[in-house]
Amino acid sequence: GENVEQHPSTLSVQEGDSAVIKCTYSDSASNYFPWYKQELGKGPQLIIDIRSNVGEKKDQRIAVTLNKTAKHFSLHITETQPEDSAVYFCAASSGRDDKIIFGKGTRLHILP
Amino acid sequence: ETGVTQTPRHLVMGMTNKKSLKCEQHLGHNAMYWYKQSAKKPLELMFVYNFKEQTENNSVPSRFSPECPNSSHLFLHLHTLQPEDSALYLCASSQAGTGVAEAFFGQGTRLTVV
Query: How confident is the model over A46-69, as a mean pLDDT?
Result: 93
Query: How confident is the model over A2-31, as a mean pLDDT?
Result: 95
- Tell me the pLDDT of chain B (114 aa) as tens digits: 779 999 999 999 999 899 999 999 999 998 999 999 998 676 888 998 887 677 777 789 999 999 999 989 999 999 999 999 999 999 999 887 666 668 899 999 999 999
Q: Which amino acid is at A37?
A: K
Express each pLDDT in B79-102 by its tens digit: 999 999 999 999 999 887 666 668
* pLDDT (0 to 100) of residue A95: 65
- For residue A82, the SS3 value is helix
DSSP A79: S
Nearest CB partner across the interface for A32, out of B43, B100, B108: B100
Nearest residue of B to residue A36, measured between CA atoms: B103
What is the C-alpha to C-alpha distance for residues A99 and A91, in angstroms, rounded to an integer? 10
What is the C-alpha to C-alpha distance for residues B111 and B14, in angstroms, rounded to an integer? 11
Closest CA to A3 of B89, B48, B4, B44: B44
What element of type H or E holds B112? strand B109-113
Q: Contact B79/B69 with Cβ under 8 angstroms? A: no
In chain A, what residues touch B102 (CB-CB under 8 Å)? 34, 46, 49
Please give the sequence-ordered ranges of beta strands (E in DSSP) within chain A, or none if there are none.
4-7, 10-14, 19-25, 30-38, 45-51, 56-59, 62-67, 72-77, 86-94, 100-102, 106-111
* pLDDT (0 to 100) of residue A98: 67
Whether B46 has its CB under 8 Å from any CB of chain A: the answer is: no
In chain A, what residues touch B34 (CB-CB under 8 Å)? none
Q: Do A43 and B106 touch (CB under 8 A)?
A: yes
In chain B, what residues touch A34 (CB-CB under 8 Å)? 101-103
Q: Do A34 and B106 touch (CB under 8 A)?
A: no
Q: What is the DSSP string of B58-101?
A: -S--TTEEEEEEETTEEEEEEES--GGG-EEEEEEEE-TTSS--
What is the C-alpha to C-alpha distance for residues B17 and A110, in angstroms, rounded to an integer? 42
Whether B57 has its CB under 8 Å from any CB of chain A: the answer is: no
* pLDDT (0 to 100) of residue A52: 83
